[in-house]
Structure 1
């Protein structure tokens, strides 16, 4: 049995604190931006984008120094946004292979993907790398991807690549020549070792790999041997994959408190776009979205929106969230927000050749949300009977749901009659002869009673010891010039009052 050749793809995203903030702020991507870290007034630059570097910004600059640069945007570092961006990147890499190893640092995202055996799914290594780069770029992150049979060779090459050629594949057995021209900075050497190599005139991996092994070990110990193997692309590695959980969540800390709902929806729209992109890559749709708002005064405002069917329509989600927040507005200014979505199966409708075009289910969701905003959520939905003998308010309202095919087929077989409850109940005059119903006077019309069923004693819940103060009758009556009347009569024994509480279809 032949052993499969190892093959790894390394994803490297530098200046990750800045990229994590700018992925949800597309309006700032073309502007010079720096990320400040620390407590005021001792804040310093920990990350920046390319335009800020061209404008003169650098790591370690203080706030006062940054303010002297023209048109520079300063953002505060956010650990929550970095964690959400990292989870999104790991999830994207996980769509290509379940074997992932995380080597991220404080300022860079580094991930190694074991892609051996994926050629039949994604094509050649170069095709896989370009598709992976395209997926990551769609999520708002700029990265470089290197493919090699050696993990460390792929990581070193990814760190030293330029953005002009973001994807590179090292041919089998050519790790050393591919790494030879790279600077020693890709090894993240300590300052003392970097000074030592500089004094020796060693500046590239090729010159480091050309040093005699025994002499290098005599001067630097076993660590020198490891560095030489790194430079030549021969250092062995024990792959230890991680298993990131699949969670559709985005977080964002606002630069200033927001009170206007339209401004909040603009930010939520970008976050929804990221959630939909990740769900689509797994052939899923968003079944529900929970928006959690952090407000001034250490309070929170949490709302959940759930349409009838899972969907990836971004405009629909924005409209539903907008209507829900208008109905239940936050009570203070918003400091941060997070969106968490639950995945669901994508819905498909098979129409016949001559079937009429059906309206989109999303139109009903928006209509119901608008009605709920006017009359209240407790008054929109479908009526569900309660387990009670009480005729007053013996039902509750629950939201509409789409039944499964099994439930639909069983409902067709059973069949049932419907009773329309009257709210309020209408008074009726009852005429009896010899203890039997003879006629009733209902809505100014006289009906002759043909059949009567009852009485049934009703009160409240069966588990309560309330007085049985009501009798219920089912009546079938007919008038001369009217159709058959089937109704439900209730007699209040305490007040000796008759009322029609429902009409049978």
Structure 2
């Protein structure tokens, strides 16, 4: 057997230096006429070490079968995936739930054997047209309880519909160690986080995913623009960079000079006194009469906040056009006015593609 140059994986500087030393020794051995392991093993150990160093001594011991090293146990990463391909196409949920129940039993047994729990489930369904459906289930309290995990899947599949029959299914569990969280003095844990998760899942099935969750303000100047995001079970404090104040995301307030029921001429100026806007939820439709492109009479469709938003306008301040998203299909534009009505009510109204509406009144 001929001796081939040994190239070690270049991971560290020490390993690179060791590989270069091995190549140098093999080059010298080839010059001596040593080309096989048998020829290397026939050399005298002490003389070889004296001439070529300890690295040559190690190579000689390996060639003679005398080298020893500690075995390192390397376990391949274990994946907790269960899959099944149906012989016939499935069009009902009963066979699907039966297979999922068996999957959960097998996954729970494997996780319990290595003292882990499931923190997340990923369900993947393959249809007859080769398309796939994937759903990730966040487990609020990691567990291996088969009944709890099965109820999560069953609640979701109760309202699940598909255009094509099912041909395969796959369920994957993301493992984690069972940990206990220590709360602060005034913090507490949910009585039954699993029950809360099931209730939210049923609400999503009844109302839709876009109607259940946490409202998050959109990065836009459009008033009241927000989206719904799924509830996050892991609470994390928002990171705030040093030297940067926390961003204010509240409802903008306009400045009014004078007394509380005073003039609205400087409603948008930088006055010392700020008057909050009591915004209506949702927008109140209104009828507005214009004279010289200025609102002279306002009449709301409803009476809100115990006040009648109706009458001739004594003062108007505007217009204030705002717009956004002009570069895509979600373009919007509106013109706002601050008006003082004859009954003393100071209101904010706007006009957009849907007509006139009252945003709210100033306190």
Gaps of 5+ in 2: 1-67, 252-277
| Secondary structure of 1:315 counterpart | helix
Shift of 1:304: 1.2
Structure-to-structure mapping, 1:247-396, within 5 angstroms: 247-254=79-86, 257-280=89-112, 284-295=116-127, 297=128, 299-307=130-138, 309-312=140-143, 313-344=145-176, 346=178, 348=180, 350=182, 358-390=190-222, 394-396=225-227
Which of 453, 457, 460 aligns to 2:324? It is 460
2:349·2:358 contact (CA, 8 Å) conserved in 1?
A: yes
CA–CA distance in structure 1, aligned partners of residues 124 and 86 of structure 2: 13
Shift of 1:343: 3.4
1:470·1:491 contact (CA, 8 Å) conserved in 2?
A: yes
Distance of aligned partners of 1:468 and 1:394 in 2 relative to their CA distance in 1, 3 Å threshold: closer
Determine if the alignment matches structure 1 residue 489 to structure 2 residue 320: no
Determine if the alignment matches structure 1 residue 471 to structure 2 residue 335: yes
Count of residues in correspondence between the two structures:
259
1:439·1:446 contact (CA, 8 Å) conserved in 2?
A: no
1:310·1:346 contact (CA, 8 Å) conserved in 2?
A: no
Match of 1:499 in 2: 357
Provide the aligned C-alpha RMSD in A. 5.0
2:126·2:167 contact (CA, 8 Å) conserved in 1?
A: yes
Distance of aligned partners of 1:403 and 1:294 in 2 relative to their CA distance in 1, 3 Å threshold: closer
Shift of 1:381: 1.9
CA–CA distance in structure 2, aligned partners of residues 372 and 337 of structure 1: 23
2:120·2:139 contact (CA, 8 Å) conserved in 1?
A: no
Shift of 1:363: 1.9
Distance of aligned partners of 1:268 and 1:438 in 2 relative to their CA distance in 1, 3 Å threshold: same
Structure-to-structure mapping, 1:56-205, within 5 angstroms: none
Q: Structure 1-normalised TM-score?
A: 0.39
Which of 260, 263, 284 aligns to 1:426? It is 284
CA–CA distance in structure 1, aligned partners of residues 204 and 110 of structure 2: 31
Shift of 1:499: 1.0
Determine if the alignment matches structure 1 residue 407 to structure 2 residue 238: yes
CA–CA distance in structure 1, aligned partners of residues 94 and 130 of structure 2: 21
Q: Greater helix share, 1 or 2?
A: 1
Per-residue CA deviation, residues 363-412 of structure 1 (Å, 9 max, x unaligned), is 22212221222222233223333333445x833322122353423999xx
CA–CA distance in structure 1, aligned partners of residues 195 and 342 of structure 2: 43
